[in-house]
Structure 1
């Protein structure tokens, strides 16, 4: 009898794990998003992220705190993938898939491309950086509730969120 109870408990644990693994991620408060573009240079850029909402909070205070490394999204780590070697704001980045982190600042954001794409921001160490760039945030053309990435064929990439736009160029 005890064996049956133990087996039933184990089966219940596995079924609940399976159900949680199969959850529809689009129903999350910060839904997943993917932006993908083949640039004029022939390189394909893919950013896979989740979209946190502002929800009346202040970017740099209650969300994405200034001066602290952040996963540049919500839920799982954000990934940045390039099909060919590229230059980001003039600095070389080999083809591959990277974790994308940022350190928000009032006058400057640091964008980090980490060699380990599945590592959370709190576990990322500088020794695992593939590349760091510094970019100047600008005022967005319009308020954007859910964090969004845009990529154009010319290689202009922008993180747009709230009233902030954080641009960089991939060539």
Structure 2
């Protein structure tokens, strides 16, 4: 009787471990998220620039001014903070950005956006602290040529382009060399 009770407790314990391990594995599989991870990489002069982000979908929602409010700091993606990594010093909209990894935020507006490179790269997207800003620049959004269902970044030889819904936000980036 006592052995049966112990075996039952061990079986329940093992089942609990199996279920929790499976649940943790699902939580850690970022590709299964509603906003899956994505990466954009390119060369700007001799510099390699990489944007790591989570890519939310429009899903029939009005994004600009609604889902993403105007005039408020936005993580420029979903989940963890979007990051920008460069292996060389760059000029962003004419201002110097040293080589490194930065979290990437934006303050959207109807006619202009503030783009923010923040020194604290490894953080959840909503943990922004202005005191850690390395650089802020102002850019002009433009109407996109086509609807973009998922948030997407492109790195071109002219800079970074954020594309989502019916909007593109180009950020001019030049090699410092």
TM-score in terms of structure 2 length: 0.83
Partner of 1:128: 132
For 1:44 and 1:155, locate their aligned partners in 2 and report how far apart those are by CA, in whole Å. 12
1:38 aligned onto 2:43: yes
Partner of 2:169: 166
TM-score in terms of structure 1 length: 0.86
Larger radius of gyration: 2
Runs of 4+ residues over 3 Å off in structure 1? 7-14
Consecutive unaligned residues of structure 1, counting only runs of 5 or more, are none
Shift of 1:28: 2.1
From 103, 109, 115, give the equivalent of 1:111: 115
8 Å contact from structure 2 (residues 43, 155) kept in 1? no
Quickly say closer, same or farther: Cα 1:118–1:139, change in 2 above 3 A: same
Q: Deviations over 1:120-155 (max 9, x none)?
A: 343212110010111110111111111111111x23
Give the superposed CA RMSD. 2.3
8 Å contact from structure 1 (residues 69, 121) kept in 2? no
